Amino acid sequence: MREAAAATVEGAGDLVVGLTTTMTVCVALMIWIGLLGRASRATLLWTFALFLGLLGSYGTLASAAMGTDVLLHPVGFGIMFGMPLVIWSGLRAAQGKRSLAWMGFAQSLVSVVLLALTTNLPNGFTVFRWLFFASAIGAILGAIEVLRGTFRGSRFGVPLVVGSAALVLLGAVGAAGDVGNSSPEADLVYIRGVVIAMSVYAICATVSLLFLANRRPGARDALEAMDAFAIEPMMRAVVRERLLRARRRKEQSWSFIDLRLDDARDLRDATGDAAFGATIRRFENIVAETFPSDVDLCRVAPGHVTVFASQPAGAVREFVRTVLNEVSTADGEAPTSLRISASAGIVPVDVATASYESLVDAAALLVQDAQSEGGDRWRRAEAAAAS
C-alpha cells in the first residue's frame, strides 16, 4: 500500500510539472494570437484567466521546492480555481454583456485563503474537494455561455464544452467521495485527477477562445448587428439585386451617393477617439434622418457612408445639400468646437451598364475632387460619364 501511495505521489509531482508547461504555452498563445492579434476586453480577461492557472502551477512548484508536500497541502492549486469563472466573464464581455470579472478573482483569493487556513486540519482535503467543485460550477457557466447568444451554433465552442465537462465530472466525483469518507490514498489519486483535468481544461479553453476571438462574423451576426446602416458586403448584394430588377424594367431613376467627413483622420487626431466617435454618430444621424426610409444606407468606414436611392440625381441633390448644411452648422451639443464639414459625390445610375464597383469608384473620384477643392461641397457626374 505504501509503495502504491509513493508511486502516486511521484506521478502527481510529474503531472504538476506537465501542468506548468501546459499553462505556460497556453498563456503565450493567448497573448500572442489572442491579446495582441485581437485586442479586446474579452481577450484581456481570457489572458488573465490563464495567467491565474500559470500562477497556481508555479506557486505549487515553488512550494515543492521549499520542501512542502504539495499533494497533502495543495494550497497553490487554489489560485487556479478562479480561472473558469474569469473565462466565463470574458465570454460575457465578448457578447457585450457586463463581465463580472471580479467574481473569478475573488474566487481565487478566497480559495487560497481557505486552503491555507485548513490545510493542516483533519478536514483540509474536504475543503479542497468542495472548492474544486465550486470551480467546476464556473466551468459550467462558461459552457452555457458558449452554447447560447452570439456563440450559439459555433463549432469552435465544442473544445471548451468538453473541457468543462471534464471539470464538472471530476468535481462531482470529488464531492461524492467526500460524502463517503475517502481514504488518504484516494485523496492522492484525486489530486492526480485534478491536475490532469485542469491541464485538459486549459488546453481546450485556449483552443476554443482563440478561435472565438479570431472568428469572422457570419450572416446571423451581421443581421443582428445591423442598425440604420448596412455593412458593405450586404450593400453590395442589395445594389446588385436592385440593378438586375431595374435593368429588366428599364428604369433609369437611380442614384448612388458617396458622403464623407472632410479630413476625418486629422479630426480624430485633433479631438481624440471619444469626441470623434460622437462626431461620427452625429454625422450618421443626420444622414439617416435626412434621406427617405426607402433608400439603402451603408457604413463603409467611420465618417464614410454610401447611399443607393431610387430617385434621379436632381432629386437626391436636395437631400445631399441638407446633409452638408446640417453637418457644417454649429451645434451647441456638438462634441467639438472645431468646424466640421462633409463632401459628397452623386452618380446617376445607368442600369444597362452600371455595377456596384463602378458606382463606388465613380462616386469616390467625385468626393476626392470635392475635398481637394476645400471640402464642404458636392460634385455630380454627368449621365454619360457615369455609364
Q: What does each of the 387 residues of the chain score in pLDDT, given as a tens digit?
A: 344 444 444 545 577 788 889 999 999 999 998 888 888 889 999 999 999 999 988 888 877 777 666 666 678 888 999 999 999 999 998 887 888 889 999 999 999 999 888 878 877 788 888 999 999 999 999 999 888 866 776 778 889 999 999 999 998 888 877 655 567 777 788 888 888 899 999 999 999 999 888 765 555 555 555 677 888 888 898 999 999 999 998 888 899 999 999 988 888 888 887 788 888 889 999 999 999 988 999 998 888 999 999 988 888 999 999 999 999 887 666 656 678 899 999 999 988 889 999 999 999 999 999 999 988 899 998 754 343
The span from the first CA to the last CA of the chain, in angstroms, equals 90
Using DSSP's 3-state secondary structure scheme, residue 308 falls into strand
Residue ranges of domains in the chain, CATH in brackets: 2-215 (1.20.1070), 222-386 (3.30.70.270)
Res 278: pLDDT:
85
Radius of gyration over every alpha carbon of the chain, rounded to an integer in angstroms:
30
Predicted local confidence at residue 337, as pLDDT: 67
At residue 232, what is the residue type?
E
The conformation of residue 181, written as its DSSP 8-state character, comes to T
Per-residue pLDDT, 228:
77
Joined grid coordinates for residue 31: 497573448
Work out the angle at residue 159's Cα, subtended by the Cα atoms of residues 155 and 165, and round it to the nearest 5 degrees: 120
Residues in Cβ contact with 89 at an 8 Å cutoff, skipping those fewer than 6 apart: 45, 99, 100, 101, 103, 104
Q: Are 307 and 259 in contact (CB under 8 A)?
A: yes
Residue 56 corresponds to which cell in the numbers above? Answer: 497556481
Single-letter residue type at 282: R
Interior angle at CA 249, CA 246 and CA 254, nearest 5: 35
Instruction: State the pLDDT at residue 385.
Output: 39
- Structure confidence at residue 384 (pLDDT): 40
Q: Which residue has the cell 451639443?
A: 333
CB-based contact 55:79 (threshold 8 Å): yes
* Spatial separation of the C-alpha atoms in residues 195 and 310, rounded to whole Å: 65
What is d(CA 47, CA 106) in angstroms, rounded to the nearest whole number? Answer: 17
Please report the pLDDT score of residue 29 as a whole number: 92
Alpha-carbon distance of 53 to 82, in angstroms, equals 8
Provide the sign of the torsion angle of the four alpha carbons 26, 27, 33, 38, taken in this order.
Answer: positive
Return the pLDDT at 3. Answer: 46
The angle formed by the CA atoms of residues 175, 194 and 50, to the nearest 5 degrees, is: 120
Give Cβ neighbours of residue 19 (< 8 Å, ≥ 6 apart). 57, 60, 195, 198, 199, 202
Instruction: Give pLDDT, residue 72.
Output: 65
Dihedral sign from CA coordinates of 122, 123, 129, 131: negative
